[in-house]
Amino acid sequence: MADEHVVVEDPGNFPPPEDTVERLWAPQRMSYVLRDTEGHVDKPKAKECPFCAGPKKDDAEGLVAWRGTYVFAIMNLYPYNVGHMMVCPYRHVGLITELDDSELFEFEKATTLAMAVMGHVSHPDGYNIGINQGEAGGAGVATHLHQHIVPRWNGDSNFMPIVAQTRAMPILLDDQRRAYAAEFEKLAPSFGLPLRGTVSIDL
Ligand SMILES: [Zn+2]
């Protein structure tokens, strides 16, 4: 028997699909330091947090561009745009509210340093900076806080999907990392940050 009270909503009233900002961040659901011990990039170690694993490796292998006392800067293996960096605390915490004052200060200060480094090396026209917190917030690695710093160029949205699929990226990535690392060394003191901090925890 037909139920006269059933109401079919007009699809036109449904929320619109993802807006521009949401689409921009979607690829970062893929995490990045996914190389296994043989150096393969396609077989992630499912159980190891990539943000804890990165700084345990040497800079080149771990894609680390700079090491502070409480936080570090690391390249994204699957960048949304060339030069995409992240700033992470060494401590495995998921939310910015879990950082203590020293960590929080260096986390934000290092974000401004990373942006300046990016500006000097890559000369972008703009930046996207942000944190996806929790799985519901879109974080690819929800259990370890990471701030995205993505350089943007006028018109880059036309080629970014192609760039993101490029297999040669890990090689270019190390060139980019080295260029950033050199610039971090130049600029860190003027931001009141160490060239290479004495890490505050046991990695
Ligand atoms: Zn972690």
CATH classification of the domain holding 121? 3.30.428.10
Q: What is the mean pLDDT of the chain?
A: 79
Q: What's the pLDDT score for residue 20?
A: 43
Q: Which residue has the higher pLDDT, 17 or 146?
A: 146
Residue predicted with more confidence, 87 or 21: 87
- CA of residue 40 to ligand 1 center, whole Å: 20
> Domain for residue 192, yes or no?
no
Residue 87 belongs to a domain: yes
Q: Is 76 annotated as a binding residue?
A: yes
193 in a domain, yes or no?
Answer: no
Ligand 1 centroid distance, CA of 104 (Å):
16
192 is in an annotated binding site: no
Domain membership of residue 84 as a residue range: 14-186
Question: Mean pLDDT throughout 153-159?
Answer: 74
The tokens for 17 are 């699909």
From ligand 1's centre to the CA of 130, what distance in Å?
Answer: 18
- pLDDT at 135 (0 to 100): 84
* Predicted pLDDT at 202: 87
Q: Which residue has the higher pLDDT, 17 or 41?
A: 41
The pLDDT-based confidence of 179 (bands split at 50, 70, 90) is very high
Ligand-binding site membership of 139 (annotated): yes
Q: In what order do the strands lie in the sheet with 64-67?
A: 64-67, 71-75, 85-89, 147-152, 126-130
Give the pairing of strands 126-130 and 64-67: unpaired
CB–CB of 110/73 below 8 Å?
yes
62 marked as binding residue:
no
Least Cα distance to 88 among 13, 140, 41, 36 occurs for 140
Higher pLDDT, 69 or 5: 69
Is 154 within a domain? yes
- Residue 144 appears among annotated catalytic residues: no
Among candidate residues 5, 40, 84, 146, the one labeled active-site is 146
Q: Is residue 104 part of a domain?
A: yes
Which one has a higher pLDDT value, 136 or 56? 56
Asked if the model's pLDDT at residue 134 lies above 90, the reply is no
Range 11-25 average pLDDT:
43
Cα of 154 from ligand 1 centre, angstroms = 34
Q: Which residue has the tokens 């894609």?
A: 63
pLDDT band at 169 (very low <50, low <70, confident <90, very high): low
Task: Give the per-residue pLDDT at 5.
Answer: 62
Q: Kindly state whether residue 203 falls inside one of the protein's structural domains.
A: no
Q: Quick: pLDDT tens for 66-94.
A: 999 999 999 998 787 889 999 999 999 99
> Is residue 198 scored above 90 in pLDDT?
no
> Does 81 fall in a domain?
yes
| DSSP per-residue letters across 70-133 | SEEEEE-SS-SSTT-EEEEESS--SSGGGS-HHHHHHHHHHHHHHHHHHHHHH--SEEEEE---
Per-residue pLDDT of 92-113, as tens digits, reads: 999 999 999 999 999 999 999 9
Judge contact between 167 and 128, C-beta under 8 A: no
pLDDT at 170: 56
Total domains in the fold of the chain: 1
- Cβ atoms of residues 69 and 199 within 8 Å: yes
How far apart are alpha carbons 40 and 12 in whole angstroms?
46
CA atoms within 13 A on the CB side of 97: 2
